Amino acid sequence: MTRPTPIPSSSVSVGEKGARRTPRTLSATIRSMQIGLHIITAALVVVAAARAIIDEVPPALVLSCAVVFSAWYLGGVILSGRVQNRQLSGWWLAGLAVIWVGAVAASAEFVWLAFSLWLLAGYILRLRWAVLFSVAVFAVVIAAPILQHGSTSYANVIGPLIGGAFALSIARGYVQLVRDLQERQRLVASLVQAQAEMAELQDELANTQRLSGAEEERTRISRDIHDTIAQGFSSISLLATAAIEHGQAERMPRTLRQIDALARESLVDVRRIVAALAPSELEEGALAGAIRRMLERLTEESGIDTEFRVDESVPALATTVEVALLRTAQSALANVRQHAGASRVVVNLADAGDSVRLDIVDNGSGFDAGAWDSGPGTAGGYGLHSMRARLRELGGGLDVESAPGEGVALSAHVPLARQPREGN
């Protein structure tokens, strides 16, 4: 006799309390039904043997039939706990039926055991064979009293018919319950596996996000270093080179003061970059004030004529927008000073309605604007690409117009609608 496959406790995770409860309940139900079948069979063996003895059938024959039937039944129960084989269980049931027919031949009272056979047939055999087996058992039940007593009654026909149909239905329901339990087991196992795979994917995603965040942070730091410290060092180098080449002693104190101021500002920027705070220039005033001071320093250090225009309608800007535009101005003015050979630069901070725009125009030597967009290291160098990347992070962009000998016009723009609100 086969038994349902037990559900291993390891197939359900500790956290899946709801999933664990249903399989355990079903397993307990199946175990109860098995025990109930064994108790029914034992009771029917006792009842059939007692009635046979009352009918004056030799007790030795009755007990022999009862013992053989019980021993075969018990052997099948023990074997089913070790071997799960439908074909072997079918042969075991056939042997039990043969023993039962022999017991019925000894006494018609053993027809009571037909109920257990119907239950076992519905559980062990496929539906088609279970029906055929049940019909054969029913035929024996009907024929036994006729052969032994010469007659029967409607009760002896209707009772076994209803009992057989009921037992077969109960057994098939039991089989379906076992199948449902096994399907639930497979479903829970697949869910647990999917949960484990999802956890692995989440770990991979978190790791990717960490790597992406680290890459973004490296990019941000490289841009900040290029736009601040590198530009400061470049200005210091230019001032020192000019002082050495010209060798004018009376200009040396002024040059040293300029170098000292640039070094101090670069040091402050280093500290700000490390602390990931706003640029030091913005601590002394708004964006317009910071750009104006940068232009004054450019004129003082290089003699380039500068002009700064600001629309009165420019609204208060978020720190992220101010930082992006300030870094753009710093990098652009550094390019004017080092590469353009310009004598004049005009900066315009304008309110463009749904965006803020920073325009920087010089009358320098210019370059081929169509070539710089192919990547860092081509015309325009790293600075222009760094500006554009920084502005695009805020939903903005950078437009460049230039040609050899015609100067450069940069236009940086950031949409006001997409800037983060701070301090509200």
Domain spans in the chain, listed from the N-terminal domain onward: 9-200, 301-424
Question: Comparing C-alpha atoms, which of 138, 143, 145, 140 is closest to residue 159?
Answer: 138
Instruction: Tell me the per-residue pLDDT of 65-97, one tens digit each, with 9 for 90 and over.
Output: 889 988 888 888 787 766 567 778 888 888 888
- Angle ∠(86,92,96) on CA atoms, nearest 5: 140
Tell me which residue of 85, 48, 82, 41 sits closest to 65, measured CA to CA: 48
Give per-residue pLDDT as tens, 301-340.
Answer: 888 888 989 888 888 888 788 888 888 888 888 888 877 7
* Structure confidence at residue 359 (pLDDT): 92
**Residues 140-155: pLDDT tens digits?**
888 777 777 666 676 6
pLDDT of residue 380: 47
Lowest model confidence (mean pLDDT) among 61-65, 249-253, 282-286 = 282-286
Q: Which residues are paired to 309 by β-bridges?
A: 348
> How many angstroms separate the CA atoms of 228 and 333, rounded?
12
pLDDT above 70 (res 23) = no
**Based on the number of CB atoms within 10 Å of its own CB, is 112 exposed (0-12), middle (13-18) or buried (19 or more)?**
buried
- Residues 124 and 80 sit within 8 Å (Cβ to Cβ): no
Q: Which of 41-45, 140-144, 216-220 bottoms out in mean pLDDT, i.e. has the lowest?
A: 216-220
**367: pLDDT confidence band, cut at 50, 70 and 90?**
confident
Whole-number pLDDT of residue 290: 84
CB contact at 8 A, 69 and 137 = no
Give the burial string for 54-82 (b: 16+ CB within 10 Å, else e): eeebeeeebeebbeebbeebeebeeebee
Burial 243-256, CB ≥16 within 10 A → b, else e: beeeeeeeeeeebe
pLDDT at 51 over 70: yes
* pLDDT value at 280 more than 70: no
pLDDT grade for 360, boundaries at 50, 70 and 90: very high
Could you count the other beta carbons within 10 Å of the beta carbon of residue 264? 12
> What residues have CB less than 8 Å from 194, skipping those under 6 apart?
none
What is the rounded distance in angstroms from the CA atom of residue 236 to the CA atom of residue 243? 11
Between CA 360 and CA 337 the distance in angstroms is: 13
pLDDT at position 342: 83
DSSP helix/strand/coil, 302: helix
Buried b (16+ CB within 10 A) or exposed e, 337-356: bebbebeebbbebbeeeebb
Strand (E) or helix (H) holding 399? strand 397-402
Amino acid (one-letter) located at 15: G
| % of the chain exceeding 90 in pLDDT | 3
Under a CB-based contact definition with an 8 Å cutoff, are residues 331 and 291 in contact?
A: no
Sign for the CA dihedral angle at 172, 174, 180, 183 comes to negative
Tell me which CATH homologous superfamily contains domain 301-424. Answer: Histidine kinase-like ATPase, C-terminal domain (3.30.565.10)
Task: With CA atoms as reference, report the closest residue to 399 among 415, 413, 416.
Answer: 413
Instruction: Report the pLDDT value the prediction gives residue 214, as an integer from 0 to 100.
Output: 60
- pLDDT tens for each residue of 89-143: 888 888 888 888 888 888 888 888 888 888 888 778 788 888 888 888 888 888 7
